[in-house]
Amino acid sequence: MWNIDLTLLDVGQPTRAAYAEAFRDVTGRPLVQLPQMAGRTESEIFFEALALNAPGPAADDELLGRFNQQLATAFGARRGTLTKQGRLMPGARDAVAQVGRLPGVVQTVLTGAIRPNAIEKLRAFGLERFFDAEIGGYGSEVYPKGAMLLNARSRAGQKYGADFSERSTLYVGDSSRDMEAARIGGSRSLGVASGRSSAGELRDAGADAVLDDLADTAAVIATVDRLTLTGD
């Protein structure tokens, strides 16, 4: 399982613009202060944004649902800007392509982004074909990432008739919260220090292995192979 933002790609500018537009449309208030987003789900970000940006509508599931709809619309309207204002992280395309060729590997994503926006991001950079998006975990689910990981493992097991155990499941992410989610969700973890968490912070959060980035494809393959096949 791969995290998307700051692990595989960076589309922070259009993402923030879409958040501001959707927040204003749903609450009638400007988004003056955006919470920290690294390793968090859309529901976590939205409810904290409500608390940070002055009193307004009651924070409930109905409001979150309307926000997610508006966020998908606002982000979709910016699909033409994703490659112009964003970038692939170093080595990301080769990493997912080569990992996908390993025997017995099934790749999907586990991301805080809602599903429509996650697919938009992957499609913009030509990455969608490497993943089984059907079994992935998305911020559309009102669960923390650890629970999302458990749900994704269950879906994968049902679809492929395989036991995706803790020793055969790997989550690749860039934040300390990603590493914590892997531990809670029963997965090995590979921390990539390409986001806002340093290599030391990733290790402290429980990463089973840490790489500075995905640029060294051979190192990525060797690490994935070691963590998922031998269980060392």
Which residue pairs from 139-143 have beta carbons closer than 8 angstroms and sit at least 24 positions apart in sequence? 139/41, 139/42, 139/43, 139/111, 139/112, 139/113, 139/114, 139/115, 140/42, 140/68, 140/114, 140/115, 141/41, 142/41, 142/43, 142/61, 142/64, 143/41
Asked if 156 and 199 sit in the same domain, the reply is yes
Asked if 164 and 220 sit in the same domain, the reply is yes
Q: What is the mean pLDDT of residues 183-208?
A: 96
pLDDT of residue 28: 87
Choose the final residue of a domain: 82, 102, 130.
Answer: 82
Q: What is the mean pLDDT of the chain?
A: 92
pLDDT of residue 56: 64
Is beta strand 170-173 parallel, antiparallel or unpaired with respect to 209-211? unpaired
Asked if 48 and 117 sit in the same domain, the reply is no
Q: What is the mean pLDDT of residues 1-24?
A: 95
- 3-state SS assignment for residue 211: strand
pLDDT of residue 214: 98
pLDDT of residue 31: 85
- Count of domains in the chain? 2
Asked if 67 and 111 sit in the same domain, the reply is no
In this predicted model, what pLDDT tens digit does every residue of 89-144 receive, in sequence order? 999 999 999 999 999 999 999 999 999 999 999 999 999 999 999 999 998 877 78
Asked if 101 and 208 sit in the same domain, the reply is yes
What is the extent of the structural domain holding 32?
12-82
pLDDT of residue 232: 46
pLDDT of residue 179: 97
pLDDT band at 66 (very low <50, low <70, confident <90, very high): very high
Asked if 58 and 99 sit in the same domain, the reply is no
Asked if 155 and 218 sit in the same domain, the reply is yes
Q: What is the mean pLDDT of residues 140-161?
A: 90
Please report whether residue 4 resides in a domain.
no
